[in-house]
Amino acid sequence: MAPRLTVIGTGYLGATHAACMAKLGFEVLGVDVDPEKVATLQAGRLPFHEPDLADLLAEQVATGRLRFTTSIEEAATFGDVHFVCVGTPQRKGELAADLTHVDAAVDGLAAHVDRPCLIVGKSTVPVGTAARLAERLTDRAPDVELAWNPEFLREGHAVEDTLRPDRLVFGVRSATAEAMLREVYADLLDAGVPAIVTDFATAELVKVSANAFLATKISFINAMAEVCEAAGADVTQLGSALALDPRIGGRFLHAGLGFGGGCLPKDIRAFMARAGELGVDQALSFLREVDAINMRRRARMVDLAREQLGGSFIGKRVAVFGAAFKPHSDDIRDSPALTVAATIQLQGAQVTVHDPVANDNARKLHPGLGYEDTPELAADRAHLVLHLTEWPQFQALDPAELGEIVAERRIVDGRNALDPARWRAAGWTYRALGRP
């Protein structure tokens, strides 16, 4: 008989994991402390935007294989394998991760399980967390075993990354735990997905190391953009040339406004904090500059926008295309686009934002900004247009038609995703980060 699964925490990670595990044929119970979110999910509706997930969720709820509850007691009774998918946000005023939700999830399960089972951590945590939790379980629920199975989801591609991942990592201390994980992921393993079986600490480090490497690669090309601007070079051509080197590759080598979201920024900061606790802070000191380069991109975008308006935002209308931190998502956590928009508004401009799916979330966080349902409405009588999230809809805009709407044909491309020749041919002054 197949094991029954629970998923503790139903945000981006948890809701995706729950729906995908149900798709693989398991009975799955999702658990969250938010009654409104649970009611929405139980009705087969997704409370956030993620391509392909809404249909998958509705489909699996309809089959009866997937349901949701607020009761950790019910989850403890129901499940054989419990996936912990709760958030690990940055602590207020610190770099370190806040593990309150992880601890609460594991403690809640330990207080109510009445038979042997496996708790599987998927949340991104500082190295050493799994070992600490395993000790707590030994004292409180000796029949419960722990494993760590980090996630590698990209928002906007979460379903694909769950059902067709590039690797699976199993941090385990026993053959029993490994066997249970192999049973859960049997379909993926049979399809050829490689599995790395390792200890707790290495499993935890795989996730944070991957994020640190990606953040470093992004900030490297953005540092080169700073040099290109000073030297009169073109960072897009530089990046294309570097990408042809097989030792480097082109992924994440695209200069622009930098990274944001709920993972990369806080994860590299938590990694630095944990390295300090372990006495190896110098090993990750470079990540401070990675973080600093990333934040400088936002300030440079504001400066470049101000330059295009003659040195002042006072009395100017600015259209901002994009609010989410990346396309195909409505996630506005640490969004570079919204940071830039809010900063420009504070400096005197009238700022109007359009995002295909993130307007509502952005409005809650920044109610003082203007919002419109189309890019054309946002650009009405604008003195400057800023392209800050690389949605395909913005790349498909007709520069000539948009030019009839704006007050002045000026655009700054914060993502180096538009065709400069096309916009300039339509009479626009086109500027971008890292390009002449």
- Cβ–Cβ < 8 Å for 195, 176: no
Around Cβ 276, how many Cβ atoms within 10 Å?
16
Count of helices and strands (H, E) across the chain: 19, 14
Strand partners, 321: 354, 387
Q: Output the pLDDT for position 321.
A: 98
d(Cα 88, Cα 85) in Å, to the nearest integer?
9
- Pick among 3.40.50.720, 3.40.250.10, 3.40.50.300, 1.10.1040.10: CATH of 5-198: 3.40.50.720
Tokens of 133: 């939790």
Q: Could you read off the pLDDT of 250-287 as tens digits, one per residue?
A: 999 999 999 999 999 999 999 999 999 999 999 999 99
| Alpha carbon distances (Å) from 52 to 57, 82, 92, 136, 320 | 9, 24, 34, 38, 27
Residuewise pLDDT in 10s, the chain (436 residues): 899 999 999 999 999 999 999 999 999 999 999 999 999 999 999 999 999 999 999 999 999 999 999 999 999 999 999 999 999 999 999 999 999 999 999 999 999 998 999 999 999 999 999 999 999 999 899 999 999 999 999 999 999 999 999 999 999 999 999 999 999 999 999 999 999 999 999 999 999 999 999 999 999 999 999 999 999 999 999 999 999 999 999 999 999 999 999 999 999 999 999 999 999 999 999 999 999 999 999 999 999 999 999 999 999 999 999 999 999 999 999 999 999 999 999 999 999 999 999 999 999 999 999 999 999 999 999 999 999 999 999 999 999 999 999 999 999 999 999 999 999 999 999 999 999 8
Q: Output the pLDDT for position 32.
A: 97
Q: Output the pLDDT for position 139.
A: 87
Tokens of 53: 């997930």
Domain spans, the chain? 5-198, 222-436
Model's pTM, two decimal places? 0.94
3-state SS, residue 318: strand
Q: Could you read off the pLDDT of 194-235 as tens digits, one per residue?
A: 999 999 999 999 999 999 999 999 999 999 999 999 999 999
Backbone φ and ψ for 243, nearest 5 degrees, come out as -65, -25
Instruction: Name the CATH superfamily, with its identifier, for domain 222-436.
Output: NAD(P)-binding Rossmann-like Domain (3.40.50.720)
d(Cα 191, Cα 194) in Å, to the nearest integer?
9
d(Cα 331, Cα 427) in Å, to the nearest integer?
34
Q: What is the DSSP string of 34-81?
A: -HHHHHHHHTT--SS--TTHHHHHHHHHHHTSEEEES-HHHHHHH-SE
The verdict on whether 85 is a catalytic residue reads no
Same fold, 5-198 and 222-436: yes
| Among 20, 85, 117, 263, the one annotated catalytic | 263
Distance of CA 233 to the CA centre of its chain: 31
